[in-house]
Every structure is written in C-alpha cells, then in structure tokens.
Structure 1
C-alpha cells in the first residue's frame, strides 16, 4: 500500500496518498470555505483530515469495529477521518454520498465544536449538516417506516453505545427537528 503524505492546507493538515493530494486538497478547501460562509466566521484551531483506504485502517483509528454504514467522523480533538469517494459509495447506504459531502458534513462538526465547545445537542449538530445547501438529504424508506410508529424523542446524547442504538433515528429526527 502506498505511503501517506502530510500536506498543510492552512486551516488543516491532510494525510492521504500522494496521488490523491491535489484532488482531496481542492475538495477540503471547498468544504472549509462552504462552512466558513455558513457560520460567518473563521475557526482558530487547525484540524486534521485523515483519508482511509481500508475498513481495517478506519476501525483502527476509531478504536473498534465500526458499523458498515459509518464512512466518516469528527473527533473532539479536531480530527476528521473519512474514506475516499469509491469506498464511501461502497459502504454508505445513500449511494449518492461523496467525499465532498462527507467533508462538508464533518468540517461543520469541527466548526460547531470550536464555536460552541460541545457536540450537544446531537439533533442540532447533525441537523445543521442535513439541511440545504449542505446535501440533498431525503428520508429513505427505512426512515419513513421508523417514523410512522410512536414518535421517537429528540436525541441529546451520543455517548458510547447509545449513539449506535439511536443512529437509525438520529439522522431522520435531526433532519426533521431542524427543518421545522
């Protein structure tokens, strides 16, 4: 497997294969600019972007085996971990998912955390990233079926295992809560 290189983007450092630096740098810069305009401010603390090339590498960084649908995450320490486009499309149930969308989403989390000092409430944190113009989010059939039953409560905590138990509702509820 080709070795990764570290590239300083000014607002973040990027770790990916040398052959991907140019393309991913452009995507990351566009995602950062988008969020800077969305929040109306710069963030002060540079962050890190790590591109993974296998599920094993992704799981090693996460610290445990991850669910197949998880294709990117941001940490409180300022690190974004994602797959590149081909693996995002392979794993994400929303087949239109892209690295550009993932980085817009995860960089939004970095802005939110640096501005507000928290990832709570989770419904607002996730809901912001699901509204236009971030990505064309639509409720999938599974979301619609889940929401026809007793209305789930809004989720304020994403700690540990709780997050994965709530994940089937989190994105659809966050979308609805911030939309209305």
Structure 2
C-alpha cells in the first residue's frame, strides 16, 4: 500500500511533501514518509506527523516526549490508555530495548480548527527483535488530535489501532 521507491525522484518528492525534513532537520532525507494522500492535507500538520513518526522510529524517549502535550492520552491496540509521562517514558524505553523499529507512514486526512487539529494517519511498522528472531510487521491506523502550544503542534490525543494482527516478516 505505502511502498516507496528509493529513486532520486522519490526522494525529491519526499522532501517537497515533508517540509519538516527538507530543512536543517536531524531526519533530513528520511525515506519512510509517503507523500500526503491528498492535497487537502495541511502542510503544518503533515510536517508534525513527519517529525513525530521520525522521532518514534529513532526511539529516543526524551525526543518523543518533547512532541507530546503535558495533558495527553495515548491508546494503543492493547492495554489501557496511557496518561502519565513517566509511565510512557518507561514503556518507550522498554520498547527501544526490545526492538528496532522501521516505520512507514502516510497522512491521509487533516483538519485544523484554530489551535486544535486532527490527523488520520496510516502506519506500517516493522519490529526487529534486538536479541534476534523473526521481525514482525504491524499495519495500523492513528487518529491524532493535536494542540498548538507556544506556536508549535503537540500530540494531545492518539488512538492507534491495528488493521490486522502482527505478521511475521521475512
């Protein structure tokens, strides 16, 4: 669905579609972002999504938490919602210790309402166990609610759902 061709033209299109990475961003040249699904996707929200998923893929809990609002709620396919920053940091550190992630994402739809916005995002992530073993692929969707604070977008609410159970990756 969201396969990227690693061609010069694809990288040029990526840089144009993902302004957060086209600047002096630490994730410049990132090839995991598919261009927005429609021209109606707000470029600032798409840039936030690029930054957020690029940071998640990198795996540094402090960098991830810097993109998340103080009053956040995060719901993943399994388990109770997370609303505590220390609990989220612990979960992120545990995940980083267990797996290396490769994430592909595409912003499908956005709506901005003043200092609030929402985005619908498709995500495919591959979790490669650090201890060895078979990588697993997760195909999912996110409904993200963002809040603008001090001129920058932050993740306020995130509901993540799997489109299918995890699959072994060859």
Coarse TM-score class (shorter-chain normalised): 0.3 to 0.5
Looking at secondary structure, tell me which structure has more strand per residue: 2
TM-score by length of 2: 0.35
In proportion to residue count, which structure has more helix? 1
Query: Relative CO higher for 1 or 2, CA cutoff 8 Å, sep ≥ 6?
Result: 2
